[in-house]
Amino acid sequence: MVRKIVRYPDPVLRAKCRNVGEITPEIRTLAADMLETMREANGVGLAAPQIAVDLQLAVIDVSHTPDCLTFMKVNGEKVEMVKHMPIVLINPQLELGSDKEIGEEGCLSFPRLRGDIRRSSKIKVSYTDLDGKTVTVESDGLLARAFQHEIDHLNGILFIDRLNAVAKVSIKRKLARLMEEWEEDDG
């Protein structure tokens, strides 16, 4: 089922999300709904607070862009990325690489807004999957960026928080105008 994506400045987007305990049928349904919602909105990731659920759960699928990374390892083994999509991550723990790069990002909770964000170029993330297994993924490129973006959401951090000072000032007016448009969209 496609769920409504909440938009900035909804307070749930600033929530530090609760850990998922047991993986119940409701959690599985939530993950399936999130994947359907993300795909319907043409996104590459979606975090639970974006559909007003404050749980440490996110989904990612970058398989539509097979050359968006140079490597992906799952539990230490080099793998073909498209065979491991989509990813459902529960209670993730993120380790950031020291090298940084700037890349353009958008967010489904900020329609029609994009910005250049500096993030680690390589990451390592451990999470629980829907089978209750611990999975460790190492990657770069769009997948690394998507992990960082979605895990930020689970901690109440938004991509606009990561803009440099000059960009924050210049985006303020645009964000105010867009928020008015979003209200009209919903009206």
Catalytic positions, please?
A: 150
Sole residue written with tokens 């440490």: 56
Neighbours of 67 (CB within 10 A): 8
Structure tokens of 17?
A: 């999300």
Q: Give the separation between CA 120 and CA 95, rounded to whole angstroms.
A: 9
* Local structure of 167: helix, strand or coil: helix
Structure tokens of 49?
A: 């607070």
CA-wise closest residue to 107 among 117, 99, 97: 117
Structure tokens of 58?
A: 């996110």
Contact 95, 167 (CB under 8 A): no
Q: Give the separation between CA 48 and CA 14, rounded to whole angstroms.
A: 12
